[in-house]
Amino acid sequence: MSRLGLTDPEREARLLSRIIETISTGLDLGEVVQGVAALITETTETDVCFVHLLDDSGRRLVLRGATPPFDELAGRIELNLGEGVAGWVAAHGRPVVIDDDKLADPRYKYIPQLRGEDFTSMCSVPIATRPGHLVGVLNVHTRVRRAFTYADVELLHSVGGLIAGPIENARLHRRLAEREEAMERFAERVVLAQETERRRLAGEIHDGISQRIVSLSYHLSAALDALPPESAHHVTAEQIRRARALADDALAETRSAIEGLRPPVLDDLGLPASLASLARSFPQLTVEVDLAPVRLPGHVETAIYRVAQEALSNVARHSGAGSAVISLAVRSGDVELEIEDDGVGFDPSRLAEHPAPTGYGLGGMRERAELLGGRLEVHSRRGAGTLLRVVIPVKGAL
């Protein structure tokens, strides 16, 4: 019977040249290892070949390729250094030959999926780029008993030496690619975070300062209208007109500004009192308040205050209602803010079709709520008023 080994230089040369062919195809690591395993089984007249490679930690072997049907186990069998015959070979850097009765060998470890009971003899050699520089371990098994010769071991050893370099390169290449990918993901997250922050700041300006200036301008107009007609050209009227022009300029400036701060009133009064003060600041609205004396983390308070501010200004601008109710409560670990009016109502399902031009109104409220793990509910119907509810989970709120 023909056998592998130096006794058959032709077969050996053929194996080595086909292996060189396989590893130079530039396939990925898994495919190269798979191809090499198939070649070795075929050419060495063994029944199965397993290729275990060291993982990135250098302390564990992972099965990376095998003769079918064991190829399906690639990536799913792991051995620590010193564990099993392959682990022993990896730890000692020396080949092992077992002709018969593996179970009697203390180095052998039975792994059910590898079906050791179907095979009798085995030979295991290190895959190393140079002595002491281990990349993995190569195992071949035969069903019928076979006495692996010194020449067999030598040949497998040289196959190991041949594939070690390309395997190591492929591994390094994969690691580099992984790092590059991680860098890309990191950059993406940074950009995303910047974007979120920019939007948050812009939202603050829109909902806070801008709305105040709008009210200011409104009051100035009302004052101008209240002046008797004969004083329309007096100094008072002129001053009010200038003040209103300034307010309009300021409004234009805030739109292009990029600053946002926590509303100072929150630090002075706390959330419930700030909401009560906010409720009094819409001259055309009577706002009833029902505010529990809750204390919440600063960023949650800011979010709720801003939502209330935008919601009330929507009531004032769009609902036509003369009164509204605002309530704040903590229920089973959630803080709930509700703003209800009995005005004209609207169809919330049509909002997506016409997002607010600035993008900070209802959309901004929803974003704020979701950023904090909460949600925004809009219940409204034409002619049936509007109820807006924001629910944000809070731990340990008082």
Ligand X SMILES: Nc1ncnc2c1ncn2[C@@H]1O[C@H](COP(=O)(O)OP(=O)(O)OP(=O)(O)O)[C@@H](O)[C@H]1O
Tokens of 73: 């186990």
**149 scored as a contact of ligand X (CB under 6 A):** no
**315 scored as a contact of ligand X (CB under 6 A):** yes
**341 scored as a contact of ligand X (CB under 6 A):** yes
The torsion defined by the Cα of 16, 17, 20 and 24, in degrees rounded to 10, comes to -170
Q: Please, which residue, 270 or 348, has the CB nearer to ligand X?
A: 348
**360 scored as a contact of ligand X (CB under 6 A):** yes
Among 95, 126, 160, 361, binds Mg ion (CB under 5 A): 361
Q: Which residue's structure tokens are 């948050």?
A: 200
* 76 phi and psi angles, rounded to 5 deg: -115, -5
Q: Which residues pair with 24 in a beta bridge?
A: none
How many CB atoms sit inside 10 A of residue 123's CB? 27
Among 187, 227, 356, 384, binds ligand X (CB under 6 A): 356
Tokens of 104: 């009697």
Report the distance separating Cα 378 and Cα 98, nearest Å.
Answer: 74
Shortest spacing between CB 356 and ligand X, in angstroms? 3
Q: Which residues pair with 360 in a beta bridge?
A: none
Alpha-helix residue ranges (DSSP H) falling in the chain = 9-23, 29-44, 84-92, 150-205, 211-226, 235-256, 264-269, 271-279, 298-314, 362-371
**338 scored as a contact of ligand X (CB under 6 A):** no
**203 scored as a contact of ligand X (CB under 6 A):** no
Report the distance separating Cα 243 and Cα 214, nearest Å.
Answer: 12
Cβ atoms of 209 and 261 within 8 Å: the answer is: no
**41 scored as a contact of ligand X (CB under 6 A):** no
Report the partner that residue 344 touches, choosing among Mg ion, ligand X, none (CB closer than 5 to 8 A by kind): ligand X
**Which span (55-63, 157-165, 184-192, 314-322) binds Mg ion, by CB under 5 A?**
314-322
The torsion defined by the Cα of 236, 238, 242 and 245, in degrees rounded to 10, comes to 120
Contacts with Mg ion by CB under 5 A: the residue count is: 2
Q: Please, which residue, 32 or 326, has the CB nearer to ligand X?
A: 326
Shortest spacing between CB 326 and ligand X, in angstroms? 12
Shortest spacing between CB 254 and ligand X, in angstroms? 13
Shortest spacing between CB 251 and Mg ion, in angstroms? 15
How many CB atoms sit inside 10 A of residue 276's CB? 15
**211 scored as a contact of ligand X (CB under 6 A):** no
For residue 258, which of 198, 182, 309 has the smallest C-alpha distance? 198
Report the partner that residue 358 touches, choosing among Mg ion, ligand X, none (CB closer than 5 to 8 A by kind): ligand X
Q: Which of residues 106-145 bind Mg ion (CB under 5 A)?
A: none
Q: Please, which residue, 348 or 393, has the CB nearer to ligand X?
A: 348
**208 scored as a contact of ligand X (CB under 6 A):** no
**362 scored as a contact of ligand X (CB under 6 A):** yes
Name the 3-class secondary structure at 63.
strand
Contact footprint for ligand X (CB under 6 A): 314-315, 318-319, 341, 343-346, 351, 356, 358, 360-362, 386
